[in-house]
Amino acid sequence: MEPMFAVARHELLQVADAVAREKNIERDQVLEAMEQAIQKAGRSKYGHEHDIRATIDRKTGDIALARYRQVVEEIEDEHTQIPLKLARKLDPEKNVGDFIVDELPPIDFGRIAAQTAKQVIVQKVREAERMRQFEEYKHRKGEIVQGLVKRVEFGNVTVDLGRAEGLLRRDESLPRESFRKDDRVRAYIIDVREEPRGPQIFLSRTHPEFMAKLFAQEVPEIYDGIIEIKAVARDPGSRAKIAVISNDSSIDPVGACVGMRGSRVQAVVGELQGEKIDIIPWSPDPATFVVNALAPAEVAKVVLDEDAGRIEVVVPDDQLSLAIGRRGQNVRLASILTGWDIDILTEAEESERRSEEFKVRSQMFIDALDVDDVIAHLLVTEGFTRVEEVAFIPLDDLASIEGFDEDVANELRERARRYLTERDERNTTRRRELGVTDELAAIEGLNPAMLVALGEKGVKTLDDLADLATDELIDANDGILREHEMSREDADALIMKARAHWFADEPAAAAKADDKAAAPAE
C-alpha cells in the first residue's frame, strides 16, 4: 500500500518517536492520533455515515484504510451493518457481532485534508500531554513547586513547571504582587482537577499551608518532625500568625523558627513580600493559647464559654488598640488561629459590666425572695445566679455562708421553692392559653417557661418542634430558647424526642396496610 503522507513509511514512525520524546508522552498515543487524523480524512472522502477505520503498522509504518460493517440479524443502518445471510456469502465463518472488513485504496491528502489531519494530531497530542500532566501531578496536591512565568493575562499567571503548566489566579496571588515573563515563582498546589478545557494545576501563594511549607523548607526541625506547626492564620501580604510546638523539650520551637538573628523567618518574609509573621507557642489549654495568640498585646483575664465556643478576654485600657489591631486584624487572626470567637473588653468595661450584672442579679433575688439588699448582695457575692440554685442547694451549704444561720437558710430555700412553684403555675396557665399541647409539654427537658417561649413563637405541637433545626432553638441571636442556657447536645436530644412519634407510627401504619391486604375481598 502506498504511503498516505508526504513522507516515507519509516519516516512516519520517526516523526511519531520525535513527538513522543518532545512531549514526553507514549509513542502509541501519537500513532493513535495520526490514525484518527487519517480516519477523519477517509470519512470526508467516502462519507461520514460509514465506519471508516485507519491503522498504522507499529513496525513498518504501513497505513491501512478499511470500511467496517457489523454482522446483524436484522439490518437497521445499511452503511455500518450487513445482514448475516449476505455476510456468510462473503465469509462462511462470520457470525452475528463479527465485522466484515473491506480494504479501501490509499487516499491522497489535499491541502485542506492535510491541514485537518495536522489539527487532529496536534489536538490529540495536546490532550495526551495534559493527561500525562494530570497523572503526574494529581498526587502532588499540597506540595510547593517552582517555575517560570510563561504568560500573564488579566492578572492570572501561567507558570511553566518544566513538565507541566500551572495556573496562579489573581485572587491566589499576594496583593500588589506583579509578575513578568520569565520571572521565577514559588507556589503551593491547592488543586489538580479535570476542567472542561482539560486537566488544570491550580496554584496559590495566599493559602495558609503555603507559609507552613515554606517554614518546613527553612527550618530543618520542622522537616524532621521535631517541631510541629499546629495552626496558621494569614492576612496575605500583610500579617500572619503561626502556632508551633516542640516534641523535644530541649528545643525552643519559637527560637528555632526565628533562626539566628531572624535569618529563617526573614527568608519566609522575603518570599511573602514582607508579610509580618508572629510565631507563637501552641498550647492545649485554650485560655493559654488565646493569650499567646493575641501577642504582642498583654491580657489581664480570660473567661471561657465552651458551649458557645466563645472566649472573653480582658485587657488593660492601654492595650485595647494593640489587642484589636489595625482594622481588627490582630484579634481576627487570633480567632482564626485558635478556632475560638474572641470578645475583647477593657478592664474598665469589664468592671462596669460586672457591676451592672451584680445590680441586676441582686434585684432579681430581692423581687423573687422578698429579701433586703444585704441578703441579696450576699447571695450574688457567693456566686448564686438563679433562684433554682437557692431552692435546691443543700441546707448546710446555704447555712455555712457568713451572716446566715440554719433558720435563715431554711426560710430562703422555702421562699425560693414557693416562688418557683408560683412561676411554673403562671407559665402553665399561659402555655395553655397559647394552645401548646399537653403532648409537647410532656417531653422531658422542657419546663413551663420554655413551653411559653415556644408557644409565643408558634411552636405548639410535637410536629412543630420536630420540624425545627437545632440553631432555631439555641442560636445566640434569635434562638427561641437562647435565654434558657441549653446546650447543643440537649437541643438535639429534644428535637429527636419530638420526632420519635414519626417512627413509632411507621410500624403501625405498615401493620394496618398488611391487615388490609390480607382481608378477604367482599
pLDDT digits (tens, 9 = 90+) for 111-153: 555 565 566 667 767 777 777 777 778 788 888 989 999 988 8
Whether the predicted model's global pTM rises above the 0.75 cut: no
Q: Which of 97-106, 213-222, 331-340 has the lowest mean pLDDT?
A: 97-106
- Give pLDDT, residue 71: 86
For the cut 50, the answer to whether the pLDDT of residue 415 exceeds it is: yes
C-beta separation of 297 from 323 below 8 A: yes
Query: Over the chain, what is the mean pLDDT?
Result: 83
Contacts of 23 (CB under 8 A, 6+ apart): 30, 125, 128, 129, 132
- Give pLDDT, residue 522: 42
CA–CA dist 161, 158 (Å, integer): 9
Question: What region does 102 belong to: left with phi over 0, alpha with psi -120 to 50, or beta?
Answer: beta
Angle at 447 between CA 441 and CA 451, to 5 degrees: 55
C-alpha dihedral over 43, 44, 47, 48, to 10 degrees? 60
For the cut 70, the answer to whether the pLDDT of residue 195 exceeds it is: yes
Domains of the chain: residue spans and CATH? 9-131 (3.30.1480.10), 138-204 (2.40.50.140), 438-508 (1.10.150.20)
For the cut 60, the answer to whether the pLDDT of residue 199 exceeds it is: yes
Angle at 264 between CA 262 and CA 266, to 5 degrees: 65
Render pLDDT for 33-52 as a digit per residue (tens, 0 to 9). Answer: 777 777 877 787 777 888 88
Question: What region does 150 belong to: left with phi over 0, alpha with psi -120 to 50, or beta?
Answer: alpha
For the cut 50, the answer to whether the pLDDT of residue 475 exceeds it is: yes
C-beta separation of 496 from 473 below 8 A: no
For the cut 70, the answer to whether the pLDDT of residue 278 exceeds it is: yes
- Give pLDDT, residue 240: 92
Q: Which of 105-114, 127-136, 273-282, 351-360 has the lowest mean pLDDT?
A: 105-114
- Give pLDDT, residue 243: 94
Cis peptide upstream of residue 296 (ω within 30 degrees of 0): yes
Question: Quick one: cell of 510?
Answer: 405498615
- Give pLDDT, residue 4: 41
For the cut 50, the answer to whether the pLDDT of residue 391 exceeds it is: yes
**In the chain, pLDDT over 90 holds for what percent of residues?**
16
Band of residue 223 on the pLDDT scale cut at 50, 70, 90? confident
Q: Which of 47-51, 196-200, 455-459 has the lowest mean pLDDT?
A: 196-200
Band of residue 10 on the pLDDT scale cut at 50, 70, 90? low
Quick one: which of 420, 424, 416 has its CA closest to 379? 416
Band of residue 476 on the pLDDT scale cut at 50, 70, 90? confident
For the cut 90, the answer to whether the pLDDT of residue 79 exceeds it is: no
Q: How far is CA 518 from the centre of its chain?
A: 52
Helix, strand or coil, per DSSP, at residue 463:
helix
For the cut 60, the answer to whether the pLDDT of residue 157 exceeds it is: yes
- Give pLDDT, residue 233: 93
Band of residue 229 on the pLDDT scale cut at 50, 70, 90? very high
Quick one: which of 68, 70, 64 has its CA closest to 105? 64
- Give pLDDT, residue 209: 92
Backbone angles phi and psi of 281, in degrees to 5: -75, 135
For the cut 70, the answer to whether the pLDDT of residue 518 exceeds it is: no
Q: How far is CA 85 from the centre of its chain?
A: 62
Run of H or E residues at 422: helix 406-434
For the cut 80, the answer to whether the pLDDT of residue 86 exceeds it is: yes
Instruction: Give the residue with greater pLDDT, 101 vs 254.
Output: 254
Instruction: Give the residue with greater pLDDT, 209 vs 106.
Output: 209
C-beta separation of 184 from 146 below 8 A: yes
C-beta separation of 51 from 67 below 8 A: yes
- Give pLDDT, residue 5: 42
